[in-house]
Amino acid sequence: MVGGLLGLSTTGKHRPVENPPLVLVGCSGGPDSLALAAVAAFFATRGEVRVGAVVVDHQMLPGSAGVAARTAEQLRGLGLDPVQVRTVDVEHDGGGPEAAARAARFAALDAAARELGAETVLLGHTMDDQAESVLLGLARGSGTRSLAGMRERRGLYARPFLKLRRAETLAVCQALELQPWHDPANSDEAYLRVRVRHNVLPFLAAELGPGVTESLARTAGILGHDADFLDGLAGQEFARIAQLGPDAGDGPAEVTLPEDELRGLPPALRTRVLARAVVVLGGCQPSQERLGAAETLLERRGSAGPVQLAGKVSAWRTSRSVAVPHEGRGYGKLVFRRTA
């Protein structure tokens, strides 16, 4: 599980290496990430990897600094080194507190991995988290990528526990006499995810059978392969038709997409190309609703917009100059720009 994602042998045969690569565990102190840290610490004893940890203090609850310090102490007791506590300021940008906390957390993990030279960051999400993500995607009317849930491996990040149930991570903590922190937000039904966890999934299990969590997670795995394939095709089309520039120092400030080319794409690729334009400009993955609003610009005549997309990116439809011959609605382009 953990060893496989790190490219280590799981047959019991291993060799210590002279300069083992560093792996970090993103640890909140909860049962899932604390159990993951303990399992990763075992692999560190084999000499093939070094294992450290990053504890992110979001400062969103009273006493959060104390929770972070106690978590770091337990991690050092497990033999993890280095162990960092990173304090972040959560900035709300209209996406809700959970999304803002997630963005701040990943920014802190990215920075720690860069500074420490880590090759991988392990996250403690379980099969239960995956099932909840699929249900939330269904409730929002999201597309394939959202329904695919979380990937087992994506870039720097790996999630070795996606095939484990939450109860199993609690059992690991109990067996090792660890003291996990239980986030009170996980019991606050003001959050949609908490209602899904405590009300919706138990109801579905009672009505459909106890394997519903496994079925939802399996669906995510199937859709993940489909989404990866479509994203790859969309990336090729984006590279073919997109015009980037000018450079703003941290990437392009504008992306232009010719509408004739966009109209020629299958809908599944067209929305992905539009989304890629937003992400290239530093924005977040737009919702299906926002992508649909951008796509309707193709139905307009003359200049239209703006449509506000995720992460302070807006889209317009602009006409060609009147000096350029055109016929019907087959002219113009969509322009994506950073708005701040």
28 is in an annotated binding site: yes
The residues, ordered by sequence, that sit 6+ positions from 328 with a Cβ below 8 Å of its Cβ are none
29 is in an annotated binding site: yes
31 is in an annotated binding site: yes
* Interaxial angle between packed helices 127-140 and 201-208, expressed in degrees from 0 to 180 and rounded to the nearest 10: 100
Q: Which residue from 246, 247, 301, 253 is spatially nearest to 277, judged by alpha carbons?
A: 253
Question: What is the β-pairing status of strands 50-57 and 83-87?
Answer: parallel
Whether 165 contacts 126, CB under 8 Å: yes
CA 6 to chain centre: 19
Whole-angstrom Cα distance, residue 114 to residue 117? Answer: 5
Whole-angstrom Cα distance, residue 262 to residue 62? Answer: 50
Please spell the DSSP secondary structure of 276-290, one letter per residue.
HHHHHTT-PPPPHHH
* Segments of 123-226 assigned E as strands: 153-154, 157-158
HSE-CB of 230 using CA atoms within 13 angstroms: 20
Whole-angstrom Cα distance, residue 253 to residue 314? Answer: 11
30 is in an annotated binding site: yes
Question: In 3-state terms, what secondary structure has residue 169?
Answer: helix
Which residue ranges are tagged as binding site?
Answer: 28-33
Which residue ranges are tagged as binding site for ATP?
Answer: 28-33
